């Protein structure tokens, strides 16, 4: 069970690590790209805006000479920065001046062209363009005079420095790796904590289960002592039922319900008077009807206890018969729950081979013959065949009066299926 828990937990922690790494990694990557774009845009705006003063100086006293000086100045400056082209347009979107790096003329022709759609814009605009692995930004900066009038605008094509981009990408990548490692380390730290907490929970659950089993045994023993003054019948029928269930390869949960039901099958007899319960002779018809009511009483007693809901099948159906002649509902065949069909056989076999107030024990051979005769009428044929194939060994193991030995075997079964 613990090994399955370790595997279960490891798989889920790995899946959680992968999911969180992908989710947070995607966010880190996105934020890194945003940071990169913002940084490049800021640089592009700053470098393009540096030309504004030269253009404003020209506009104060425009002339051919001032224009020549402007062209020389912006051509000189463009060689020193990351702009590959700069153009100045007047308020009517007519080009006044431009400067292009000689090495960038071919690149400039490959960039998307534009019209006068930015002439009316009043704020700085940046358009990102990718050519191969290089990042370019087309920057539009309006030129506004002191009175708020637009005098024109500057268009610059900025080539983002490869080293800056590489540096920011590297920082983003390192942040991504750090996030993944932190999530991994957190998962590793959580693993022993979860295991420890789960072990404590398992211990509490097992203690609770054992406490419930203890109360189950006490209650079953109380009913058994009132009925026959011994626990042995409860021990034997439970062990017979468990062995048949094991041969049928019942699930763990089904075995739990079978064991609980076997312990409490006659719980309803607490509501039956001693005069009927301990009567040595044959019961009258009225007395037998009263005795049959113990099924309903037992079902009512456990009805409100959720932990015992899987015992209901045995408690309410262990007197049903395969051909429909049983009680309380006259169920037939597969309509009778499997656990009840198993227990009915175990209960009758133990009753046949045991001493009761109204009878002496039958021999093993006679008891087996009665089971064979009742196959298909009282008992499920498949379960009966299976039991008869192993009846002698099961009787040798279980059909004795050593209460201590039987109790020890029963404790092993409880430990196997409830812890």
CATH number 3.10.20.740 is the correct assignment for the domain at 57-160: no
Q: Which of 125, 128, 96, 98 is nearest to 111 (CA)?
A: 128
Fold of 230-418: Hypothetical protein af1432 (1.10.3210)
Q: Could you write out the DSSP letters of every residue in 356-413?
A: BTTBPPPPHHHHHHHHHHTBTTTB-HHHHHHHHHHHHHHHHHHSS--HHHHHHHHHHH
Task: Please report the pLDDT score of residue 80 as a whole number.
Answer: 80
User: What's the token pair of residue 292?
Assistant: 């049959």
Rounded (5°) CA angle 60-61-63: 140
Nearest to 368 by CA among 355, 380, 385, 356: 385
Q: How many residues does the chain have?
A: 419
Catalytic residue among 217, 260, 269, 409: 269
Q: For the chain, what is the largest distance between any 2 Cα atoms, rounded to a whole number of angstroms? A: 137
| pLDDT number for residue 115 | 55
Instruction: Answer yes or no: 269 catalytic.
Output: yes
- Per-run averaged pLDDT (10 residues), the chain, 419 residues: 65 83 84 78 77 78 82 81 81 81 74 61 74 80 76 80 80 85 82 74 66 73 66 87 95 93 88 83 88 92 86 94 95 96 95 80 93 95 95 91 84 84
Strand order in the sheet with 83-90: 95-100, 83-90, 150-159, 134-144, 125-131
- With DSSP H G I counted as helix, E B as strand and the rest as coil, what are the percentages for the chain, rounded to 5? 65, 10, 25
Q: What is the pLDDT of residue 278?
A: 78
- Helix, strand, or coil here: 338? helix
Give the pLDDT confidence score for residue 1 in this predicted structure. Answer: 47
């Amino acid at each position: 069970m613990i090994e399955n828990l370790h595997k279960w937990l490891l798989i889920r922690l790995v899946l959680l690590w992968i999911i969180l790494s992908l989710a947070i990694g995607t966010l880190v990557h996105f934020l890194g790209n945003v940071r990169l774009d913002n940084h490049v845009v800021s640089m592009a705006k700053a470098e393009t805006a540096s030309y504004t003063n030269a253009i404003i100086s020209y506009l104060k006293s425009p002339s051919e000479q001032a224009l020549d000086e402007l062209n020389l100045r912006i051509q000189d400056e463009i060689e020193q920065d990351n702009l590959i082209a700069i153009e100045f347009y007047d308020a009517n979107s007519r080009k006044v001046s431009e400067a292009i790096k000689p090495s960038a003329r071919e690149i400039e022709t490959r960039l998307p062209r534009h019209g006068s759609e930015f002439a009316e814009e009043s704020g700085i605009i940046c358009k990102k363009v990718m050519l191969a692995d290089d990042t370019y930004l087309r920057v539009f900066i309006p030129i506004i005079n002191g009175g708020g009038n637009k005098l024109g605008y500057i268009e610059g094509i900025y080539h983002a420095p490869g080293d800056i981009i590489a540096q920011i990408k590297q920082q983003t990548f390192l942040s991504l790796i750090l996030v993944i490692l932190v999530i991994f380390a957190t998962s590793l730290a959580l693993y022993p904590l979860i295991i420890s907490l789960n072990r404590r929970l398992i211990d509490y659950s097992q203690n609770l289960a054992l406490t419930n089993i203890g109360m189950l045994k006490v209650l079953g023993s109380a009913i058994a002592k009132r009925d026959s003054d011994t626990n042995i019948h409860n021990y034997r029928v439970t062990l017979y039922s468990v062995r048949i269930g094991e041969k049928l390869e019942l699930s763990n949960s089904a075995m739990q319900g079978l064991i609980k039901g076997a312990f409490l099958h006659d719980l309803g007899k607490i509501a039956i008077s001693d005069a009927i319960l301990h009567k040595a002779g044959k019961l009258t018809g009225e007395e037998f009807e009263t005795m049959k009511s113990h099924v309903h009483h037992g079902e009512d007693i456990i009805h409100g206890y959720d932990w015992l809901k899987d015992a209901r099948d045995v408690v309410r159906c262990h007197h049903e018969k395969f051909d429909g002649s049983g009680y309380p509902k006259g169920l037939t065949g597969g309509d009778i729950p499997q656990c009840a069909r198993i227990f009915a056989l175990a209960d009758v076999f133990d009753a046949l081979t045991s001493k009761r107030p109204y009878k002496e024990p039958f021999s093993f051979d006679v008891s087996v013959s009665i089971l064979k005769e009742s196959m298909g009428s009282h008992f499920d044929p498949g379960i009966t065949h299976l039991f008869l194939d192993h009846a002698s060994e099961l009787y040798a193991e279980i059909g004795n009066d050593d209460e201590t030995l039987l109790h020890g075997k029963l404790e092993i079964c409880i430990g196997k299926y409830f812890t």
